[in-house]
């Protein structure tokens, strides 16, 4: 059975880590709620990214995925809520104002 020095083991471990690549850091994006609309209403991000929904209206809103992938809960005026977007295409809406709609796509 071969014997390896500590330096050889560390060098091999470093090469394996480099070859595997460093995982990408999740990004954070903002969606503003104003005038009874999401801006932007539709967006594409990487799976695992965070979206901050900021309510700039004078009434409460939500951002609720139709498939249950995320739900901000009630966001009071002047407040915000964070959600992490899983992989897939997720139409979302406001539970208080169902005419407010958007689509979050993550790959």
At 8-60, the pLDDT tens digits run: 444 444 444 445 555 567 899 999 999 999 999 999 999 999 999 999 999 99
Domain span at residue 94? Answer: 27-106
Residue 8 belongs to some domain of the structure:
no
Residue 18 belongs to some domain of the structure:
no
* pLDDT given at position 21: 55
> What percent of the chain clears pLDDT 70, i.e. is strictly above it?
78
Q: Could you give the angle at the alpha carbon of 34 between the alpha carbons of 82 and 80, nearest 5°?
A: 20
* pLDDT given at position 25: 74
Residue 86 belongs to some domain of the structure:
yes
Provide the domain count of the chain. 1
| Residues in Cβ contact with 57 at an 8 Å cutoff, skipping those fewer than 6 apart | 33, 34, 35, 36, 77
Residue 22 belongs to some domain of the structure:
no
Q: Do the beta carbons of residue 84 and residue 50 sit within 8 Å?
A: yes
Query: Residue 44: which CATH number?
Result: 2.60.40.420
């Amino acid at each position: 059975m071969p014997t390896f020095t500590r330096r050889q083991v560390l060098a091999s471990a470093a090469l394996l880590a480099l070859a595997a690549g460093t995982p990408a850091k999740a990004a954070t994006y903002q969606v503003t709620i104003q005038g009874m609309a999401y801006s932007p209403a539709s967006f594409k991000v990487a799976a695992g990214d965070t979206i901050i929904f900021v309510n700039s209206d004078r009434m409460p809103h939500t951002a609720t995925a139709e498939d249950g992938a995320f739900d901000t809960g009630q966001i009071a005026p002047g407040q915000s809520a964070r959600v992490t977007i899983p992989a897939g295409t997720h139409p979302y809406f406001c539970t208080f104002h169902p005419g407010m709609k958007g689509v979050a796509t993550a790959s």
